[in-house]
Amino acid sequence: MTVEITEEPKGVHGMGHKIRRKEDIRFLLGKGNYVDDIKLPGMVYLAFVRSPYAHAKIKSINVEKAKTLPGVIDIITGKELEKVGLAWIPTLMGDKMMVLPTDKVVYQGQEVVAVIAEDRYKAYDAASLIEVEYEPLEPVTDPKKALEQSSPIVRPDKNTNLVFKWEAGNKEETDKLFKEADVVVSQGFYYQRLHVAYMEPVGSIAHYDPVSGKLTIWMTSQAPHVVRTVFSLVTKIPENKIRIISPDIGGGFGGKVYVYPGYVVSAHASIKLGRPVKWIATRSEDMRSTAFARDYHIHGEIAAKKDGTILALRIKVISDHGAFFGDANPSKFSAGLFSICTGSYDIKAAHVEVVGAHTNKPPGGIAYRCSFRVTEAAYAIERLVDILAHELGMDPAELRLKNFIPPEKFPYKSALGWTYDSGNYAAALKKAMDKIGYWELRKEQEEKRKRGELMGIGISSFTEIVGAGPADLFDIVGIKMFESAEIRIHPTGKVIARFGTRAQGQGHETTYAQIISEILGIPVEDIIIEEGDTDTCPYGLGTYASRSTPTAGAAAAVSAKKILDKAKKIAAHLLEAREEDIVYEKGRFYVKGSPDKFKTIQDVALAAYTNPPPGIEAGLEAITYYNPPNMTFPFGSYICVVDIDKGTGQIKVRKFVAVDDCGNIINPVIVDGQIMGALTMSFGTAFLEEIRYDENGNIYGGSFAEYMIPTAIETPKWELDKTITPSPHHPLGAKGVDESATVGSPAAFVNAVVDALWHLGVRHIDMPLWPWKIWQILKEKGAVSDE
Amino acid sequence: MFIMYPAQFNYFAPKSVDETLELLDKFRDDAKILAGGQSLIILMKLRLFSPKNIIDINKIPGLSYIKEEEGYLKIGALTRYSDLEYSDLIKSRYPLLYESIKHLADPIVRNVGTVGGNVCHNDPGNNLPSVMLAYNAEFLVKSISKQRVIKAIDFFIGPYQTALQSNEMVVEIRIPVQEPKNSGAYMKLERRAGDFAIVASAVNVSIDDNGYLKKVGIALGAVGSTAIKADKAEEFLIGKKADKEVIKKASEIASEQTNPSSTPFGPSAEYKKAMAKVLTFRAFKNALRKVGVEI
Ligand SMILES: Cc1cc2nc3c(=O)[nH]c(=O)nc-3n(C[C@H](O)[C@H](O)[C@H](O)COP(=O)(O)OP(=O)(O)OC[C@H]3O[C@@H](n4cnc5c(N)ncnc54)[C@H](O)[C@@H]3O)c2cc1C
């Protein structure tokens, strides 16, 4: 089936309708309920003393002055946590991480001592009175150096900085094809360290009830159920006595999958003090200590024939994980799904190798699709293909069209083992080319070049892999990556549905309602969606990696269909007919041949409680734990046009067309919103954002004064379009879409800039593409202007 | 470095300039005036700076005005950027000032930040110090015992440093009223809209009826420990006819007067110097175009 997109809401607002987001009203009115909005009686505040050093021995901690400050309630150190077995906790990747250090600190900004006080001001006043004596140790911030014999060792509990070595593909076959190739193109890329800079920094409120022994934690978590299980395993508190509530969350982007020391210490403090303890990171604390993205040193090679046929791909990566391996990959995939790096192309053989290193930097390569490494993969292949086209003197669009996996080859088994569900890559690229006027732009570029003006056109035709996942392949700390949906229809026909996912801005309250509405014919207004409370919602793995619609969306569809099966039986009873003779059309049941005499789903719901057929249980509800048969593979083609100022090196994105294909679309405005947001974030990646560390481990880019996220002023106008290639295995034909543009667009920006400069002898420039970098290159090539 | 909650301080909200001056005289180095707060409050929240006494001047009437009088454009110290932004007088007769305000931070900051605060804070990246140098502005300064006028060139001393004594405050900013054939332009290179300048160039220029340069003010921001007046370039230009070669030469002279340092992981000193030249050239080009001269 292909879902039609309709402008005006009509009927019951099922799939394809551009209805407004149900959740927005509370956000627009300022009535959202974030962790920091919650105030409990008797609540106290936690603040951390943080390390100024990247690597140092803790010689002593003197808390005397702080202790006597009025309003200070408690001071907690690593030594105290050690006694209750909480100084270290496991990470989601089978590594361990410090909650508070006992002997040494391993990155600048690390939590060292916690202070609990009556208010935040006092907590920070006390924190500034705590004297920690450090003995600085030599740090290592470059992962390549970290892997050398002579490097200082980051971890006190390890004798190496090597985190893992991981490879995929057929090395021999790949090497053979490289030998036979006419052309081999190779290039190094550094994908810089980023922070997602969500609107709401991380935080928690832990509330331990000493009478019932129940620990409730409000937490900025994208995956509350998994956190509950991990908390229970670590603390030995029975899992039914832990309740995690993720209230409204101001953006997560993966950064809120991680379990932060603040969550753990606030819980410990609440148990100890018998009072609710609130911890909210300040922006600077958050930027400097929470999960980063990227920091990937990629070396890629691509082998091709003279005519442009791509033969093979070889990629080597050194990935920087900081002090702890705190990614959130499925446990069998140390480098996430990086093996999607053959992208949209029919490549015969490929081999990839990833080596992970510890450095004296904060941990947690999670954010922005980082654990799954799809963004890095798409960037590598799309840059390599572009360089290949330029080397061969072929048009980059034509080279892509020549090498795309053709539509008839789907389902397609990639050289690195993935089975792509569906795709039509040429259709998306051609649509983008038509929309932007590709060939006219190429002409314009030629003319401009004659006049010495710098204009570039960049393409990226990416393939995504989302919706983890088939449970036999994917698990997080052993928990299979299924997803859940529970639908309850009340006697009066109103619905409440609960999920194991947790939206952070994605619009689940609308999208899921539309899915249920599509199948059950109940108006969207009558459907309430709840997520994020582990006491009330069914167990789920959470929302990240664009997995919610592919997994929870499918679970909702399956639950709705289960309800429909029962509803048909009840309708048959009400219409005094045989079940086989009942016809169902969105929300109505009738006997074949007499559509005028019908029962609505609401009639059926009432009957389910007041007049159930003999032999059938009362009630109308269903729950599903959906195990997807495969991932979904959204794709798209982006084209970017840039102009470069030869005087200053500034780049202007003049035009940007994005054609996305995420299968059937549930709500087109939500999908467009996700794409625009992701494009804007990646625009930041390409041009503005980076976190750097000097040799001593000092951070650059740890606050919004230095870390530049784009504003509306420089953000280009995004021109969006779609093709629709439904997923054959998803119950609704839908695919995930959240991160498509994050994955796809960085290469488009860089390709455009390099395209503008190729004739000057420029092959590659690492992001962010700051004007001074461009100017330096122009200067070296003798192309700067002084006007 | 990680804190966003200021340390304790005493708060005073005087109702007059005299009362303010008394408090300043009493506390001296232990007090700071709070104007728009767009720099001071941030420093306090980060605890980079924890003054014991805060003297909030926002409750003082009569410190916010824009008027031409006695050959000067007079701006009250507490005048907000947005007051200038929406003033027809500024927009039509002081293009350099107008453009520099349009490129200052974002609308939220512009609604609160003050002209007095901007020049007194004297962040090397601030917009207004270079503008004041290009205009040859003067500042009316008061203390409990005396009143004096300080020329812009004597006022900006170093990063976050001015000629003010700890018991003095700026009450008025004075810019000479410009001649009829006057123009100006402000060019600012930013990493991102609303950010502090990587390099900024402020140009104020008047031409005579024959198109010769009569008065020239050039100053550069963010290319030294404080804003730099490019007096050699100004001298070079006086009396010359503006053409491309002359302006380029002047831009180069101006650039040579700068003394930028490289930003770690950011723009190099070489880049900043080159931008000083390019931006000065562009500022002249834009300014001269407004008085009908194309270069
Ligand atoms: C996000 C952001 C972006 C910004 N971008 C820019 C930019 O691009 N360009 C730019 O120029 N500025 C920028 N600023 C700074 C802004 O312009 C400030 O408003 C300015 O630096 C200080 O003015 P204020 O009125 O806010 O002064 P305050 O912060 O209140 O005071 C600053 C200092 O001046 C002193 N002071 C204030 N008034 C007087 C007076 N009358 N007499 C004596 N001392 C006084 C105070 O004691 C204090 O030391 C930005 C600020 C922010 C928050």
Q: Which CATH number characterizes residue A593's domain?
A: 3.30.365.10
| Residue owning the nearest CA to atom 47 of ligand 1 | B33
Measured in Å, residue A59 CA sits from the centre of ligand 1 at: 41
Q: Helices marked H in A248-392 — which ranges?
A: 261-273, 283-289, 374-392
Peptide bond into A728 cis (omega under 30): no
Measured in Å, residue B90 CA sits from the centre of ligand 1 at: 20
Q: Is residue A225 part of a domain?
A: yes
Q: Chain-centre distance of CA A62, in angstroms?
A: 41
d(CA B97, nearest CA chain A) in Å: 21
What is the model's pLDDT at position B91? 97
Listed residue (A534, A625, A473, A551) closest to A227, CA to CA:
A534
Comparing alpha-carbon positions, the chain A residue that sits nearest to B193 is A713
What is the model's pLDDT at position B179? 87
| Residue owning the nearest CA to atom 18 of ligand 1 | B38
- Taking the C-alpha atoms of residue A262 and residue A239, their distance in angstroms, rounded to an integer, is 20
Whether B127 is in the pocket of ligand 1, judged by its Cβ within 6 Å, is: yes
Q: Which two tokens stand for residue A89?
A: 């906790």
- Taking the C-alpha atoms of residue B264 and residue B261, their distance in angstroms, rounded to an integer, is 9
| Residue owning the nearest CA to atom 10 of ligand 1 | B126
Peptide bond into A532 cis (omega under 30): no
Residue A478: exposure state from Cβ atoms within 10 A (0-12, 13-18, ≥19): exposed
Task: For A255-287, write each residue's pLDDT tens digit.
Answer: 999 999 999 999 999 999 999 999 999 999 999
Other beta carbons within 10 Å of A25: 10
Per DSSP, what are the bridge partners of residue A310?
A304
* Active-site amino acid positions of A: 222, 369-370, 739
B10-56 under CATH 3.30.43.10, yes or no: yes
Comparing alpha-carbon positions, the chain B residue that sits nearest to A773 is B267
Quote the DSSP letter at residue A766: P
Whether B37 is in the pocket of ligand 1, judged by its Cβ within 6 Å, is: yes
Q: Which two tokens stand for residue A617?
A: 């249980």
What is the model's pLDDT at position A266? 98
Q: Three-class SS of residue A250?
A: coil
Q: Three-class SS of residue A63?
A: coil
Please give the average pLDDT of every successive group of 10 residues along chain A, which has 787 residues. Answer: 62 84 94 97 98 98 97 98 97 94 98 98 96 98 98 98 97 98 98 96 97 97 96 95 98 94 98 98 95 96 98 98 91 90 98 98 87 95 98 98 98 97 98 98 98 98 93 89 97 98 95 96 96 98 92 97 98 97 96 96 98 96 97 97 98 98 96 97 97 97 94 96 97 94 97 98 98 98 96
Whether B121 is in the pocket of ligand 1, judged by its Cβ within 6 Å, is: yes
- Taking the C-alpha atoms of residue A477 and residue A33, their distance in angstroms, rounded to an integer, is 30
| Among A50, A650, A694, beta carbon nearest to B264 | A694
Q: Three-class SS of residue B201?
A: strand
Total tally of structural domains belonging to chain A:
3
Q: Are strands A412-413 and A419-420 parallel, antiparallel or unpaired?
A: antiparallel
Residue A430: exposure state from Cβ atoms within 10 A (0-12, 13-18, ≥19): middle
Cross-chain Cβ contact A121/B266 below 8 Å = no
- Cβ atoms of A267 and A215 within 8 Å: the answer is yes
Measured in Å, residue B126 CA sits from the centre of ligand 1 at: 8
Q: Three-class SS of residue A614?
A: coil
- Cβ atoms of A280 and A317 within 8 Å: the answer is no
Other beta carbons within 10 Å of A271: 18
End position of a domain, from candidates A626, A655, A670 = A626
Cross-chain Cβ contact A648/B5 below 8 Å = no
Which segments within B134-245 are labelled E, that is strand?
A: 138-142, 147-151, 156-158, 161-162, 169-176, 182-190, 197-207, 213-221, 228-229
Residue count (chain B): 295
Quote the DSSP letter at residue A553: I
End position of a domain, from candidates A626, A647, A674 = A626
**Looking at the structure, do residues A671 and A554 belong to the same domain, yes or no?**
no
Whether B104 is in the pocket of ligand 1, judged by its Cβ within 6 Å, is: yes
| Among B189, B192, B264, beta carbon nearest to A708 | B192
Listed residue (B273, B216, B255) closest to B239, CA to CA:
B216
Please report, for residues A107, A171, A247, A285, the alpha-carbon distance to residue A36 in angstroms, rounded to integers and kept in the order given. Answer: 27, 52, 10, 16
**What angle do the packed helices A601-610 and A554-574 form, to 10 degrees?**
70
- Taking the C-alpha atoms of residue B90 and residue A298, their distance in angstroms, rounded to an integer, is 53
Whether B36 is in the pocket of ligand 1, judged by its Cβ within 6 Å, is: yes
- Cβ atoms of B274 and A786 within 8 Å: the answer is yes
Whether B113 is in the pocket of ligand 1, judged by its Cβ within 6 Å, is: yes
What is the model's pLDDT at position B1? 62
Q: What residues contact residue B12 under an 8 Å CB cut-off, 6+ apart? A: B23, B53, B54, B55, B56
Other beta carbons within 10 Å of B259: 13
d(CA A97, nearest CA chain B) in Å: 21
Measured in Å, residue B121 CA sits from the centre of ligand 1 at: 6
Q: Which residues of A touch B277 (CB under 8 A)?
A: 786
- Taking the C-alpha atoms of residue A663 and residue A650, their distance in angstroms, rounded to an integer, is 37
Q: What residues contact residue B108 under an 8 Å CB cut-off, 6+ apart? A: none
Q: Which residues of B touch A785 (CB under 8 A)?
A: 278
- Taking the C-alpha atoms of residue B117 and residue B225, their distance in angstroms, rounded to an integer, is 18
Measured in Å, residue B55 CA sits from the centre of ligand 1 at: 15
Q: Is residue A552 part of a domain?
A: yes
**Looking at the structure, do residues A493 and A559 belong to the same domain, yes or no?**
yes
What is the model's pLDDT at position A1? 63
**Looking at the structure, do residues A461 and A548 belong to the same domain, yes or no?**
no
Comparing alpha-carbon positions, the chain A residue that sits nearest to B195 is A705
Q: Which residues of A touch B268 (CB under 8 A)?
A: 772, 776
Q: Is residue A756 part of a domain?
A: yes
Cross-chain Cβ contact B1/A284 below 8 Å = yes
- Taking the C-alpha atoms of residue A293 and residue A282, their distance in angstroms, rounded to an integer, is 19
Please report, for residues B82, B107, B227, the alpha-carbon distance to residue B110 in angstroms, rounded to integers and kept in the order given. Answer: 5, 5, 21
Comparing alpha-carbon positions, the chain A residue that sits nearest to B280 is A787
Q: Within 13 Å of residue A288, how many CA atoms lie on the same side as its CB? A: 30
DSSP result, A385-430: HHHHHHHHT--HHHHHHHHBPPGGG-SEE-TTS-EE----HHHHHH
Whether B150 is in the pocket of ligand 1, judged by its Cβ within 6 Å, is: no
Whether B32 is in the pocket of ligand 1, judged by its Cβ within 6 Å, is: yes
Question: Domain limits of chain B?
Answer: 10-56, 66-176, 182-289
Listed residue (A95, A192, A216, A182) closest to A143, CA to CA:
A192
Q: Is residue A505 part of a domain?
A: yes
Q: Chain-centre distance of CA A599, in angstroms?
A: 43
Ligand 1: residue of B40, B43, B198 to mutate (most ligand atoms within 8 A of CB) is B40
Q: Three-class SS of residue A229?
A: helix
Residue whose tokens read 């978590």: A221
Q: Is there a common fold for B66-176 and B182-289? A: no
Q: Is residue A754 part of a domain?
A: yes
Burial A112-124 (b: 16+ CB within 10 A, else e): bbbbbbeebbbbb
- Domain hosting residue A118, numbered range: 35-137+201-249+256-289
DSSP H or E stretch at residue B22: helix B17-27
Q: Is residue A80 part of a domain?
A: yes
Listed residue (A745, A375, A734, A780) closest to A545, CA to CA:
A375
Measured in Å, residue B116 CA sits from the centre of ligand 1 at: 8
Q: Three-class SS of residue A502?
A: coil
**Region for A477 from its dihedrals, namely left if φ exceeds 0, alpha if ψ lies in -120 to 50, beta otherwise:** left
CATH number for position A44 = 3.90.1170.50
Q: Chain-centre distance of CA B277, in angstroms?
A: 20
| Among B106, B267, B278, beta carbon nearest to A647 | B278
What is B66-176's CATH topology? 3.30.465
| Among A282, A688, A701, beta carbon nearest to B4 | A282
Q: Are strands B228-229 and A88-90 parallel, antiparallel or unpaired?
A: unpaired
End position of a domain, from candidates A236, A264, A289 = A289
∠ Cα B243 B244 B246 (to 5°): 70
Cross-chain Cβ contact A710/B192 below 8 Å = yes
Residue whose tokens read 């507490």: B78
Residue whose tokens read 């996912």: A501
What is the model's pLDDT at position A477? 85
Task: For B64-91, write each residue's pLDDT tens digit.
Answer: 999 999 999 999 999 999 999 999 999 9
d(CA A216, nearest CA chain B) in Å: 27
d(CA B186, nearest CA chain A) in Å: 15
Whether B251 is in the pocket of ligand 1, judged by its Cβ within 6 Å, is: no
Comparing alpha-carbon positions, the chain B residue that sits nearest to A126 is B7
Cross-chain Cβ contact A787/B275 below 8 Å = no
∠ Cα B174 B163 B205 (to 5°): 40
**Helix/strand/coil percentages in chain B, nearest 5:** 35, 25, 40
**Looking at the structure, do residues A492 and A544 belong to the same domain, yes or no?**
yes
Measured in Å, residue B98 CA sits from the centre of ligand 1 at: 17
B190 Cα nearest atom in ligand 1: 8
Listed residue (A388, A378, A379) closest to A304, CA to CA:
A388
Which residue out of A119, A648, A692 would a mutagenesis test of the B interface target, given it has the greatest number of B Cβ atoms within 10 Å? A648
Measured in Å, residue A121 CA sits from the centre of ligand 1 at: 24
Match domain B182-289 to its CATH number in 3.90.1150.10, 1.10.10.10, 3.30.390.50, 3.40.50.1220: 3.30.390.50
- Cβ atoms of A227 and A245 within 8 Å: the answer is no
Q: What value does the mean pLDDT take over residues B101-122?
A: 97
Listed residue (A392, A236, A428) closest to A304, CA to CA:
A392
∠ Cα B276 B278 B281 (to 5°): 105
Q: Which residues of A touch B269 (CB under 8 A)?
A: none
| Residue owning the nearest CA to atom 23 of ligand 1 | B117
Per DSSP, what are the bridge partners of residue B212?
B241
**Region for A16 from its dihedrals, namely left if φ exceeds 0, alpha if ψ lies in -120 to 50, beta otherwise:** left
Q: Is residue A546 part of a domain?
A: yes
B78 Cα nearest atom in ligand 1: 41
- Taking the C-alpha atoms of residue A589 and residue A582, their distance in angstroms, rounded to an integer, is 6
d(CA B106, nearest CA chain A) in Å: 10
Q: Is residue A295 part of a domain?
A: no
- Taking the C-alpha atoms of residue A315 and residue A377, their distance in angstroms, rounded to an integer, is 9
**Looking at the structure, do residues A266 and A379 belong to the same domain, yes or no?**
no
Please report, for residues A312, A383, A461, A479, A685, the alpha-carbon distance to residue A186 in angstroms, rounded to integers and kept in the order given. Answer: 12, 10, 20, 39, 23
